[in-house]
């Protein structure tokens, strides 16, 4: 019996042994943990460089960084658990509202005041996508936006001089650029509205479709404008998807986001700014001749603007050193610190001062994105706690309309009702 | 190896007669030692099965986001469940997989097992190795592989179909065909079912066939009147285990929908038009994407009830149709 | 029964040549059917290896090409580095090896308690063990996740390994199934051996470790193999508990590699080969054990 007990204990020890012990903190120094979302070797190294520089200059506040892509569930679980990090950088700000609503992250307004932070250099629209119900819950740390990439050789061949500016021009140009095979498959699509992403967030505002109205706290995704917008997607499929021709082109994409542009199967596409970067198109497709321009808009006032979101720096509500964390956050908002990651990822800066930085303006095809970032009408995700449900539902509705023959109005009505119910239950 | 004393089919329980009587010293000793030996399981059962089961039953009546304490909402989660179109979608998807896919896999596997059981076949070991290989092949690798084989324009399947003049379907990109792709994978990976049939078939006495042959029974009659009754426990077992597996289907659909999705890496999973939104995926989305732990618990309990009803239903239907050795 | 006479009668008929030709044709047809089916079942594997050695362009060639030309060996080191294979392999082993040990230890103890020690009520409890096999794992998932999250154990393999030491995890092959399997085997061990050891004053644990377990090697090996393969292939549990990509096991690393890169099919197939190769090798060496284990599952019905 005794040996049995010993064995059970040994087993338990074996199992518990893997927990490992956290290193004890030295006195007088505040140790902070930063969980960030970058996982590639080069990205991790770049972020480490940023952190190392801080650590060298601030012996009293030492930051330990942990990389690797993050899901919202990880942060929520960390908050529920015993040992959350002090700071988090998510590569996707859409979770900010949910975290703020659930009390996972701390509001920053008082902290910013306490450390005497000056945030006037941060682009206001970038601050907007880390705000929830009037309070600042995060700081932008590099952002993403989208533009029309087009194959200049194909444009020459079709005799098109300038990129399209309106949706009508886009339609006409696409028709000229489309080439069919004898068997009814597409040799080259002019434009595919839902590749490489569904492009719901990326195109809605060009049709004046707003997902949510902040003032009335109503989900407005079933407005007539939004119905028209879904019908715009549908028009492409009705015309070009006979025998699944367009779906087959999407299914054949390999080689990253811009794969269809590279393979010549698509002449125009909506891609993010990071594709221009040194790690992607210049390396993968050195012979591709392309250019970038703002995405065409139905509403002329919106031409030049685009959807923006990005990496959000947040301080966990459970952190015991929020002021120190805030100081580190403001360090990230300096030109030097921001530029390291922005150049590494070829992303759009969140700082006004960097919009004209020669190191960024000299990246080929990058100017279009810097202009979008400066455009006052550029928009972002609605900051609501049930955003995951909204965007999932919207993507499902789009699928149902494009390939399932569903009625756009019906789909959007159902979606609006179900998300509204969740929001009302959540209180925002 | 007889399993007679404890592993009898749940459909025909042996009667347990509780005779209250004093245990002898010897019996007390054995009870203590026996319980000590099974204590790992006992602790595990209490901690990893019974407690979580009861807790999830409780959660299913609450509004519970993992950070807050659960708030009692009565039957609200169950009411919401029956009003949720995604719940119905996931249920019908899963039923399709179970009702179409499971019998198909079980029948194809039986066909292969019958071929393998032909008298005098050579190389049975080699064939068995081949048919079993997909079973140990990692599900993730298999899903990536089938994603490629069933790629509409470039995949081998549609290319081969094209050679004989058939325009292949869009498989995972077509809501009407996506589930058939998953079923194809299931049938391919049903080698364990083949092995179980083969074991059962090899247990059928040759003499029965020979007797039937003398009575003038053809191969078809022999199959229905000798083979099927004799291996009926294996058929029932395969139907139940494969059916339960289909009910809990997750990984293939996850890998396929992430691999075909164009809504970014952080999106919900479920395939085009939610055609691959199986019950387990809907539960996963609700628990780990939206953190509706209460609602997800209600989904889990509904699943449990469904599985129990289906299993006992199968036993019920099979009663009198399944032949257990030593019964007569 | 008059089996003997029937058999000889039938043999006599066979000797007379009746039915022999039919049987010969049947055998040939069966053989043909098996060969065709084998080719169909093997084609995906052949195609996987073929694609994995192609250029991205040749992978999508129409009509399809079977033998790659040129052979692109570099796809393998590429995929190997990009999915951080050594790290993912280590993670998989960190999960699988303790689980194999835990399962073997705990299930042997429990099976011994059910097979060798006669205590009142054991059959009733054993039925409970078997009944847990029917439970869908989802029904325990959420409360366990809540507990482990509160303990701060997410992003570690502890929540996945711990149940193995208590023979109570769910999976393709659950802890309960292994208890069943080992119990069946232990029941076949001659009682005399056990009784003799008891007379010699050996403790029950000693009997288990020095007599019963060594005599049950085939069943032990089956348990180890099936547990190992189950953990190697486990996607669901790591998906839920492990978010840090440096901790991903092979199965998850391969999935993320395929989904996030969508680079080219040749590399995806290289990744699929890399993830499955160790298991396939193991399978070819120990296939008899695998198949024996599966045959046993059929008997539990």
- CA neighbours within 13 Å on the CB side: how many for C243? 24
pLDDT band at C12 (very low <50, low <70, confident <90, very high): very low
> Quick one: pLDDT at residue A333?
95
CB A420 within 8 A of CB A385: no
Phi/psi class of residue A135: alpha, beta or left (left: φ > 0; alpha: ψ in -120 to 50)? beta
- Arithmetic mean of pLDDT over chain C: 86
Decide if A251 touches B, using CB distance below 8 A.
Answer: yes
C163 in contact with B, Cβ within 8 Å: yes
B165 touching A, CB under 8 A? no
Residue with tokens 């119990």: C183
Q: Give the least confident one: A179-193, A276-290, B16-30, B230-244.
A: B16-30
Does residue C68 contact residue C50 with C-beta atoms inside 8 Å? yes
- Whether A15 has a pLDDT exceeding 50, the answer reads no
- Which of C91, C68, C96, C77 lies closest to C271, judged by CA? C77
pLDDT band at B20 (very low <50, low <70, confident <90, very high): low
Q: Would you say how long chain C is, in residues?
A: 301
Name the phi and psi angles at C249, rounded to 5: -80, 170
Could you tell me which of A258, A223, A239, A11 has the C-alpha nearest to residue A147? A258
End-to-end CA distance of chain C: 27
Distances (CA, A) of A408 to A196, A233, A234, A417, B215: 22, 10, 9, 14, 67
Predicted confidence at residue B156, as pLDDT, reads 95
pLDDT reading at C300 higher than 60 = no
Contacts of A391 in chain B (CB under 8 A): 263, 267
Place of tokens 């590494």: A344
CB contact under 8 A, A244 and B263: no
pLDDT, chain B, mean: 87
Lowest mean pLDDT among A411-415, B64-68, B197-201, B219-223: B64-68
Write the pLDDT tens digit of every residue in A329-376.
999 999 999 999 999 888 999 999 999 999 999 888 999 999 999 898
The CA-CA-CA angle for residues C171, C172, C178, to 5°, reads 80
Assess whether pLDDT exceeds 80 at residue C19: no
Q: Tell me what pLDDT residue C55 has.
A: 87
pLDDT for position A244: 87
Q: Any CB–CB contact under 8 A between C190 and chain B?
A: no
Helix or strand (DSSP H, E) at A49: helix A41-57
| Chains near C (3 or more Cβ pairs under 8 Å) | A, B
Given a cut of 70, is residue B132 above it in pLDDT?
yes
- pLDDT digit string (tens) for B108-118? 999 999 999 98
Query: Looking at the predicted structure, is the pLDDT value of residue B246 above 50?
Result: yes
- Alpha carbon separation from B61 to B73, B74, B303 (Å, rounded): 6, 5, 15
Q: Is B85–A1 a contact, with Cβ atoms under 8 angstroms apart?
A: no
Give the mean model confidence (pLDDT) for residues C34-52.
Answer: 96
User: Are the CB atoms for C194 and C212 separated by under 8 Å?
Assistant: yes
Q: What integer pLDDT is reported at residue B325 of this predicted model?
A: 57
Q: C61 in contact with A at a CB cutoff of 8 Å?
A: no
* Residues A22-57 pLDDT 10s: 344 445 789 999 999 887 778 889 999 999 999 999
Which has the closest alpha carbon to B38: C125, C160, C209, C134?
A: C125
Structure tokens at A7: 């064995």
- What integer pLDDT is reported at residue C276 of this predicted model? 95
> Given C34, C167, C287, which is nearest B41 (Cβ)?
C167
What is the per-residue pLDDT for A110? Answer: 95
Residues in chain C with CB shorter than 8 Å from the CB of A4 are 109, 205
| Residue B316 predicted with pLDDT over 90 | no
Which of the 8 DSSP states describes residue C259?
Answer: I
With contacts defined as CB-CB under 8 Å, which chain B residues touch C235? 139-140, 250-251, 254-255
Return the pLDDT at C162: 95
- The answer to whether the Cβ–Cβ distance between A80 and C162 falls below 8 Å is no
* Shortest Cα–Cα distance, C222 to chain A (Å): 22
Mean pLDDT of C53-78: 88
Alpha-helix residue ranges (DSSP H) falling in B137-231: 139-149, 156-163, 178-188, 191-202, 206-214, 219-222, 228-230
pTM: 0.85
Confidence of residue B266 (pLDDT cuts 50, 70, 90): low
| Rg from Cα positions in chain A | 24
Closest C-alpha to A65, from A33, A22, A87: A33
Q: CB–CB of A73/B291 below 8 Å?
A: yes
A253–C262 CB contact, under 8 Å: yes
What number is the ipTM of this complex?
0.88
Q: Determine the average pLDDT of the residues in C19-48.
A: 87
Distance from CA of A252 to the nearest CA of B (A): 6
**DSSP string across A51-94:** HHHHHHH-TTEEEEEE-S---HHHHHHHHHSS---SEEEES-GG
Which whole number is the average pLDDT over C205-226?
92
CA distances from A165 to A260, A293, A296 (A): 22, 9, 4
pLDDT bin (cut points 50, 70, 90) of residue B127 is very high
Q: What is the mean pLDDT of residues C188-205?
A: 92
Q: Provide, as residue numbers in chain A, all residues whose Cβ is less than 8 Å from the Cβ of C94.
A: 18
Chosen from B31, B39, B77, B144 to mutate, greatest number of chain C CBs within 10 A: B144
Which two tokens mark C103?
Answer: 């399962």
Task: Work out the pLDDT band at A82, boundaries 50, 70, 90.
Answer: low
Full DSSP string of B197-221: HHHHHHTS-HHHHHHHHHTT--HHH
pLDDT in tens, B86-109: 999 999 999 999 999 999 999 999
Q: What's the mean pLDDT in A166-176? A: 97
Q: Is A217 left (phi over 0), alpha (psi -120 to 50) or beta?
A: left
């Amino acid at each position: 019996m005794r040996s049995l007990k010993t064995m059970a204990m040994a087993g338990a020890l074996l199992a518990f042994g893997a927990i490992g012990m956290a290193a004890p903190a030295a006195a007088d120094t505040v140790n902070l943990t930063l969980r960030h979302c970058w996982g590639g070797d080069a990205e991790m190294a770049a972020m480490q460089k940023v952190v190392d520089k801080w650590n060298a200059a601030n012996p009293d506040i030492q930051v330990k960084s942990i990389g690797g892509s993050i899901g919202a569930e990880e942060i929520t679980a960390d908050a529920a658990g015993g040992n959350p990090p002090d700071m988090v950088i998510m590569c996707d700000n859409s979770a900010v509202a949910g975290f703020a609503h659930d009390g996972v992250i701390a509001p920053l307004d008082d902290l910013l005041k306490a450390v005497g932070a000056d945030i006037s250099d941060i682009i206001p629209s970038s601050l907007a996508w880390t705000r929830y119900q009037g309070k600042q819950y995060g700081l932008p740390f590099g952002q993403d936006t989208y533009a029309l990439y087009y194959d200049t050789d194909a444009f020459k061949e079709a005799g098109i001089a300038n990129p399209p500016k309106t949706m009508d021009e886009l339609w006409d140009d696409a028709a000229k650029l489309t080439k069919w095979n004898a068997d009814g498959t597409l040799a080259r699509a002019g434009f595919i509205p839902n590749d490489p992403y569904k492009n719901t967030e990326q195109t809605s505002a060009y049709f004046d479709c707003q997902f949510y109205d902040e003032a009335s706290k109503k989900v407005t995704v079933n407005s007539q404008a939004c119905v028209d917008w879904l019908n715009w997607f549908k028009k492409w499929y009705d015309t070009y998807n006979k025998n699944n021709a367009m779906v087959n082109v999407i299914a054949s994409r390999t080689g990253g986001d811009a794969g269809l542009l590279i393979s010549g199967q698509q002449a125009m596409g909506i891609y993010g700014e990071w594709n221009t970067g040194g790690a992607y198109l210049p390396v993968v497709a050195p012979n591709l001749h392309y250019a970038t321009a703002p995405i065409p808009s139905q509403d002329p006032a919106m031409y030049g603007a685009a959807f923006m979101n990005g990496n959000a720096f947040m301080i966990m509500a459970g952190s015991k050193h929020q002021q120190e964390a805030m100081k580190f956050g403001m360090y990230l908002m300096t030109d030097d610190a921001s530029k390291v990651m922005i150049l590494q990822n070829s992303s759009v800066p969140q700082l006004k001062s960097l919009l004209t930085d020669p190191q960024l303006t000299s990246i080929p095809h990058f100017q279009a994105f810097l202009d979008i970032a400066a455009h006052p009408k550029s928009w972002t995700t609605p900051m609501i706690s049930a955003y995951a449900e909204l965007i999932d539902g919207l993507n499902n509705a789009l699928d149902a309309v494009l390939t399932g023959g569903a009625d756009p109005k019906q789909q959007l009505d159902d979606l609006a009702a179900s998300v509204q119910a969740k929001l009302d239950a959540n209180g925002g | 190896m007889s399993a007679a004393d404890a592993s009898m089919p749940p459909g025909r329980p042996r009667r347990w007669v509780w005779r209250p009587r004093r245990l002898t010293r010897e019996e007390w000793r054995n009870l203590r030692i026996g319980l000590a030996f099974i204590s790992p399981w006992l602790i595990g059962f209490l901690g990893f099965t019974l407690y979580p089961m009861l807790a999830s039953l409780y959660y299913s009546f609450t509004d519970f986001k993992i950070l807050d304490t659960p708030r009692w909402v009565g039957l609200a989660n169950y009411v919401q469940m029956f009003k949720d179109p995604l719940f119905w979608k996931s249920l019908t998807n899963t039923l399709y997989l179970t009702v179409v896919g499971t019998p198909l896999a079980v029948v194809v596997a039986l066909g292969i097992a019958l071929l393998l059981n032909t008298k005098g076949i050579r190389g049975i070991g080699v064939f068995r190795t081949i048919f079993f290989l997909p079973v140990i092949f990692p599900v993730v690798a298999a899903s990536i592989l089938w994603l490629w084989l069933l790629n509409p324009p470039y995949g081998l399947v549609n290319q081969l179909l094209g050679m004989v003049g058939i325009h292949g379907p869009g498989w995972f990109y077509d809501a009407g065909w996506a589930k058939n792709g998953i079923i194809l994978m299931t049938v391919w990976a049903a080698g364990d079912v083949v092995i179980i049939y083969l074991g059962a078939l090899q247990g059928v006495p040759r003499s029965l066939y020979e007797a039937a042959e003398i009575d003038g029974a053809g191969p078809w009659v022999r199959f229905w009147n000798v083979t099927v009754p004799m291996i009926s426990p294996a058929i029932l077992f395969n139907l139940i285990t494969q059916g339960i597996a289909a009910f809990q289907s997750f990984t293939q659909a996850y890998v396929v929908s992430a691999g075909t999705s164009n809504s970014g890496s952080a999106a919900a999973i479920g395939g085009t038009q939610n055609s691959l939104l199986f019950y387990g995926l809907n539960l996963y989305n609700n628990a780990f994407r939206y953190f509706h732990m209460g609602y997800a618990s209600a989904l889990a309990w509904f699943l449990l009830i469904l599985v129990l009803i289906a299993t006992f239903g199968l036993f019920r239907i099979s009663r009198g149709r399944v032949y257990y050795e030593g019964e007569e | 029964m008059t089996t003997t006479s029937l058999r000889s009668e039938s043999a006599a008929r066979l000797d007379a040549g009746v039915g022999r030709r039919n049987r010969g044709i049947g055998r040939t047809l069966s053989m043909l059917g098996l060969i065709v089916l084998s080719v169909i079942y093997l084609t995906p594997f052949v195609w996987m290896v073929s694609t994995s050695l192609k250029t991205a362009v040749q992978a999508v060639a129409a009509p399809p090409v079977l033998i790659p030309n040129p052979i692109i060996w570099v796809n393998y080191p590429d995929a190997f580095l990009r999915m951080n294979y050594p790290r993912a392999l280590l993670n998989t082993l960190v999960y699988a090896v303790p689980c194999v040990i835990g399962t073997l230890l705990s299930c042997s103890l429990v099976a011994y308690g059910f097979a060798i020690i006669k205590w009142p009520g054991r059959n009733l409890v054993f039925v409970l063990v078997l009944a847990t096999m029917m439970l869908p794992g989802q029904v325990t998932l959420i409360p366990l996740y809540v507990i482990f999250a509160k303990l701060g154990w997410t992003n570690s393999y502890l929540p996945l390994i711990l149940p193995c030491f208590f023979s109570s995890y769910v999976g393709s092959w659950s802890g309960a199934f292994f208890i069943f399997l080992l119990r069946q085997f232990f029941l076949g061990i001659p009682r005399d051996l056990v009784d003799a050891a008891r007379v010699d004053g050996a403790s029950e644990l000693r009997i288990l470790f020095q007599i019963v377990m060594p005599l049950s090697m085939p069943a032990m090996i089956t348990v180890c193999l099936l547990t190992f393969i189950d953990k190697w292939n486990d996607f669901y549990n790591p998906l839920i508990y492990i978010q840090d990509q440096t901790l991903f096991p092979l199965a998850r690393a391969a999935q993320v590699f395929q989904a996030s890169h969508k680079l080219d099919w040749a590399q995806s197939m290289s990744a699929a080969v890399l993830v499955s190769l160790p298991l396939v090798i193991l399978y070819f060496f120990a296939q008899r054990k695998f198949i024996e284990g599966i045959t046993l599952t059929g008997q539990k019905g």
